[in-house]
């Protein structure tokens, strides 16, 4: 019982620290690829502290509540994901609950920023939701493939059944693994899929009205989103890990690959993004699901 409680408190803190570290690291690596020096790796933490002391504006009650619920949902999702032997709540409903809680994250932000009454927000949110629909199609196919293959909806069971070999190297499922990696930049909202917050054309889209501590919360939430997308990939395809350290190392490797993509690709238009997401990743995921349905 006490171990459970410690885990419930420790996991979000760990997830936050890892996510923030990834954010800092990504800026650093990006800078080096661009032949710049780049900010210190602690820059996001410095930003968050600075933001929370700056003045901010609020557009109403939903403006405050939506963003709170969005971040609360991302913390809840983290608790349902097993992190290298630690899983606080993974028995309560499994992957389906994760899928549904993940849906609260964009919804909360959308409701909150929707009250901001700025044209950029409407455009940004519209893009964000369309993009979510875009990557959810292959993502759902991938998750269904895994649930069919392992005959469970519990993510902890999926991890433990990979003891004999990682999913990404098993025969029909490697297609799903590749498909997941192809949509990972969209899940993490990095280039070429950052059209929802495109800073140069729609002033960061849905984030435009956030300042001060709201911006701090949005940054924290971004860290959590990064963490969730990567942790799911490691759990589902790279066999999880026996302890948190190995888990984070696996996440780091995947993340660095994503940053390389982020650094060199230009931004898609939203319709191009949908067309891409519903073509190759979906085809691969579908092939994986059909093969799995036939074989199991």
Partner 1 sequence: MNLEILLIAAFGGSFLTYFLGKFSHKVRDGFAVFISSALVVLVTFFYDKQVSINYYSGFFDLPFILRINTLSWFFAITIAGLGALSIAFSLSYMKERKGTNFYYLIMLLVNASMLGIVLSGDLVSFYIFWEIMSWTAFLLISYNRGPAIAAGMKYIVMSLAGSIFMLIGIFSLYANYGTFIIPEIGAGIASASSGFILFILIMFIIAFGIKNAVWPFHTWLPPAHSEAPSPFSAVLSGILIKMGSYGFLLIFYVIVGMNLFLGLGLGRFSFNYILCWVGAITIVIPTFTAMLQNDAKKLLAWHSIGQMGYIIIGISLGTSLGLAGGIFHFFNHALFKALLFLTVAAVEYRTRGVRDLNSLGGLVKKMPVTFIGVLVGALAIIGVPLTSGFVSKWLIYKTLILDGYSFLAFAAFIGTWGTLLSFYKLVHNMFLGQLPEKYKDVKKAPLSMQVPILILSGVILLFGILPGIPLKVINEIGTSFGFESLNVNIGGIASETGTLNTINILAVIAVAAILIWLFLRAGAKSRRVTQEDSYGAGLSVPTDKYHYTVEFYDPFSRMIKPYLRDVIDDFYNWIAKGAQKTFDHIRHLYTGDVGHYAIYIILFLAFLILASFGWFLL
Q: In the window 62-121, what residues touch partner 1 (CB under 8 A)?
A: 62, 64, 68-69, 71-73, 75-76, 79, 89, 91-94, 96-97, 99-101, 103-104, 107, 110-111, 114-120
219 part of the interface to partner 1, by CB under 8 A? no
Which of 10, 29, 137, 287 is in the footprint of partner 1 by CB under 8 A? 137
| Residue whose entry in the numeric block shows the structure tokens 């693994």 | 177
Close Cβ partners of 69 (under 8 Å, ≥ 6 residues apart):
104, 108, 111
Nearer Cβ to partner 1, position 94 or 281?
A: 94
Which of 40, 60, 165, 199 is in the footprint of partner 1 by CB under 8 A? 60
* Piece of the chain touching partner 1 by CB under 8 A; list 26-34, 141-149, 160-168, 245-253: 141-149
Nearer Cβ to partner 1, position 255 or 276?
A: 276
- Tell me the sheet residues that pair with 83: 86
209 part of the interface to partner 1, by CB under 8 A? yes
126 part of the interface to partner 1, by CB under 8 A? yes
State the Cα torsion 21-256-128-109 to the nearest 10°: -10
196 part of the interface to partner 1, by CB under 8 A? no
Taking every pair of Cα atoms in the chain, the longest distance, rounded to a whole number of angstroms, is 59
287 part of the interface to partner 1, by CB under 8 A? no
- Tell me the sheet residues that pair with 86: 83
Residue 224 token pair: 């959590």
Q: Which of 199, 201, 206 is nearest to 113 (CA)?
A: 206
2 part of the interface to partner 1, by CB under 8 A? no
d(CA 114, CA 60): 11
Nearer Cβ to partner 1, position 2 or 294?
A: 294
d(CA 79, CA 257): 25
Binding-site size, partner 1 (CB under 8 A): 80
Nearer Cβ to partner 1, position 243 or 272?
A: 272
Nearer Cβ to partner 1, position 101 or 231?
A: 101
Residues 247-286 that bind partner 1 (CB under 8 A): 269-271, 274-275
Bond from prior residue into 110 cis (ω within 30 degrees of 0): no
Residues 25-54 that bind partner 1 (CB under 8 A): 52-54
Nearer Cβ to partner 1, position 27 or 128?
A: 128
CB 264 within 8 A of CB 33: yes
158 part of the interface to partner 1, by CB under 8 A? no
CB 274 within 8 A of CB 130: yes
Residue 95 token pair: 């992957």
Question: Measured from the CB of residue 111, what is the shortest distance to partner 1 in angstroms?
Answer: 7
Which of 43, 58, 160, 170 is in the footprint of partner 1 by CB under 8 A? 58
Residue 76 token pair: 């809840």
Residue 93 token pair: 């409903």
């Amino acid at each position: 019982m006490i171990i459970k409680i410690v885990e419930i408190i420790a996991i979000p803190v760990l997830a936050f620290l890892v996510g923030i570290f990834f954010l800092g690291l990504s800026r650093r690596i990006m800078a080096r690829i661009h032949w710049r020096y780049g900010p210190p790796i602690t820059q996001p933490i410095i930003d968050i502290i600075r933001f929370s002391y700056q003045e901010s504006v609020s557009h109403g009650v939903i403006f405050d509540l939506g963003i709170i619920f969005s971040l609360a949902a991302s913390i809840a999702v983290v608790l349902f994901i097993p992190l290298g032997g630690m899983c606080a709540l993974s028995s309560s409903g499994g992957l389906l609950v994760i899928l549904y809680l993940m849906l609260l994250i964009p919804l909360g932000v959308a409701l909150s920023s929707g009250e901001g009454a700025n044209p950029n927000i409407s455009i940004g949110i519209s893009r964000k939701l369309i993009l979510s629909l875009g990557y959810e199609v292959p993502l759902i196919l991938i998750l269904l493939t895994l649930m069919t293959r392992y005959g469970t909806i519990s993510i902890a069971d999926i991890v433990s059944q990979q003891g004999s070999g990682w999913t990404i190297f098993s025969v029909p499922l490697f297609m799903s693994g590749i498909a997941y990696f192809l949509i990972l930049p969209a899940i993490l909202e990095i280039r070429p899929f950052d059209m929802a917050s495109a800073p140069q054309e729609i002033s960061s889209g849905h984030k435009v009205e956030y300042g001060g501590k709201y911006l701090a919360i949005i940054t924290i939430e971004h860290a959590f989103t990064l963490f969730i997308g990567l942790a799911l990939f490691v759990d589902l395809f790279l066999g999880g890990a026996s302890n948190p350290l190995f888990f984070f190392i696996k996440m780091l490797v995947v993340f660095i690959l994503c940053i390389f993509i982020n650094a060199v690709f230009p931004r898609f238009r939203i319709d191009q993004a949908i067309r891409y997401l519903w073509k190759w990743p979906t085809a691969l995921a579908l092939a994986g699901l059909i093969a799995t349905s036939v074989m199991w």
